[in-house]
Amino acid sequence: MSQANHNASPGGFLGTVERVGNKLPDPAMLFVFLLVAVWVLSLMLSYVTFELIDPRSGEAIVVRNLLSGAAFTEFLAVMVTNFSHFHPVGVVLVAMLGIGVAEHTGFINSGLRALLNVTSDRWLTPMVVAVGIVSHTAADAGYVLVIPLGGVIFYAAGRHPLAGIAAAFAGVSGGFSASFIPSSIDPLLQGLTQAGAQILDPEVVLNPLNNYFFTTASSVLIIAIGWYVTDKIIEPRLKDTELDGDAEDMPEMHDLNAQESKGLRWAGLSMLVGIIILIATAYPPTSAWRDATGNISSFTAPLMRSIVSLIFLLFLVPGVVYGIVAGTVKSSKDVIVGMTKSMNSMAYYLVIMFFIAQFVYAFGQSNLGVLLALQGAAILKAAAMPAAITIVGIVILTAFVNIFVGSASGKWGLLAPIFVPMLMSLGISPDLTQAAYRVGDSSTNIITPLMPYFPLVVVYCQRYVKTTGIGTLTAMMLPYSISFLVLWTIFLLIYFAIGLPLGIQASYTYP
């Protein structure tokens, strides 16, 4: 294939999305322009009086002028901490140190090749999507672990690696609220929903797993949709996209030799021992891994706060053991080289994260995100539609707001005090309102460059196709996003119409 054909985008709607998206400025500069836009909008709207009430303060919403002397000097004063304390940065870098060692020594590569020997090609796509869904139990681990491995697995199986990255991204982020294993997001959302419900009825108490049956059933739906979209839409579309990544970074596909097999066995044993030790130390009710109340899955529990550190060790130790046994680690220097290589690959990501951190800070300080959410909720409330249509409205509004405000808890913290009491007054339970929010919150995660991990996925793709840009990834993920939003909403309405249980101690109606 000629270089001209290689660089050409496919035709049709997705091709247009890709071409337009890739003509946008570099992601780092895009966030610079967005930051300037926030400054200008904050100046203009700071002179406007709004009657919308901010649920956090109980007072009318006020847009803060970020170009005032006090606000701008404060921005400069916190610029460094905005970046150094930006959550995704630490999560990615610490996890990548351990993963970098495991990759450099050959442990990940050998493990994946062994996995492919026992996994049929037919089941490869649903397996990747399912693993992405399961990764939700480990906070943000899926973004730094499952998504890049999706590309490696597909490449090792002779399939296009970008399709593997897309399938994994769809499971990790697009199916964020579809999980058959309870995670920390369940009690987090339940707590916000309950607080919103108690505005109208102080006696309301909700179960943390009030959406569990729905999210479990949803996981099957998301796997099925992800499977179909990957195999029937995305991979055929990528067939003419040539790989031009560095050959040294491409995973090898040869069979395991005796030394690699032995290294893999010892590495697997060390990983198993580590997991057994973790379970044994976390099991006692008085374990130091638990919070003050004995809960092991709360946000304050040391175990949940240590997820990224545990991922670091989970790959560092087996990676070193594998390297020693397989002969790829001769000294401690080899371990440091693995960590250094992984950090070298993160240089571009760090530049982007610096500007994203500044934008996120400014957007939050300006109250523009709050204004957007509250205005949308006011329009929905004024429409006074039937229950089923109102549910659809909440899904769509949440999906739209999610493009600008990425944090699931941040959005629901703003919307729950409005949506939950509003729908309770219409006879709709807080449990159903929360389920509708979760559908909308997940569906558009994968198409917004404003999501902090989106640029990281672009970097993963560039490992195989150097010309990958925002447009490439957006066009690749748009079919998943639209399919999730439409089919998942329909699924919720059918689920609602049939009256299947939403979760533990959950209901559809109020009271």
The pLDDT value recorded for residue 112 is 66
Helix (H), strand (E) at residue 324: helix 307-326
At 53, give phi and psi (nearest 5°): -95, 125
Highest mean pLDDT (candidates 86-95, 399-408, 440-449): 440-449
- Token pair in block for residue 331: 């000294």
Mean pLDDT of all residues in 450-463: 87
Identify the pLDDT of residue 407.
63
Question: What backbone torsions phi and psi does residue 86 show, to the nearest 5 degrees?
Answer: -70, 115
Instruction: Give the predicted TM-score (pTM) of the model.
Output: 0.73
Q: Choose the weakest-confidence range: 67-81, 90-104, 174-188.
A: 174-188
DSSP 299: T
pLDDT band (50, 70, 90) for residue 507: very high
Angstrom distance (rounded) from CA 433 to CA 391:
7
- Taking CA atoms, 133 is separated from 73, 311, 353, 388, 465, in Å, by 42, 17, 25, 27, 26
Residue type, 261: S
**Contact by Cβ (8 Å): 335, 322:** no
Contact 100, 341 (CB under 8 A): yes
Measured CA to CA in angstroms, residue 503 lies from 197, 208, 285, 430, 511 at distances of 17, 9, 26, 12, 17
Question: Which of these ranges, 120-124, 169-173, 384-388, has the smallest mean pLDDT?
Answer: 384-388
The full set of domain ranges for the chain reads 3-498
Helices (H) and strands (E) in the chain, counts: 24, 2
- Per-residue pLDDT of 83-132, as tens digits, reads 988 777 887 788 788 888 888 888 877 876 777 667 777 889 999 998 88
pLDDT at 117: 67
Using CA atoms, how far apart are residues 357 and 497, in angstroms rounded to an integer? 43
Question: Residue 59: phi, psi to the nearest 5?
Answer: -115, 165
Tell me if the bond preceding 511 is cis, omega within 30° of 0: yes
**Given pLDDT bands bounded at 50, 70 and 90, which one contains residue 336?**
very high
Average pLDDT, the chain: 84
Q: pLDDT band for position 409 (50/70/90)?
A: low
Question: How many Å apart are CA 153 and CA 465, to the nearest integer?
Answer: 16
Encoded amino acid at 178, one letter = A
Of 98-102, 236-240, 473-477, the least confident: 98-102
CA dihedral 274, 275, 278, 280 (to 10 degrees): -110
The CA-atom distances, in angstroms, between 99 and each of 45, 107, 495 are 46, 10, 40
In the three-class reduction of DSSP (H, G, I as helix; E, B as strand; rest coil), residue 477 is classed as: helix
pLDDT of residue 116: 63
- Asked whether residue 7 carries a pLDDT value surpassing 80, the answer given is no
Res 8 pLDDT > 50: no
Three-state SS string across 46-77, please? CCCCCCCEECCCCEECCCCCCCCHHHHHHHHH
pLDDT for 385 beyond 70? yes
Mean pLDDT of 417-441: 87
pLDDT at 247: 46
Q: In this predicted structure, what is the pLDDT of residue 214?
A: 95
User: Among all chains, which residue has been given the structure tokens 């059918």?
Assistant: 494
Q: Which residue has better confidence, 10 or 46?
A: 46
Residue matched to tokens 């659809």: 392
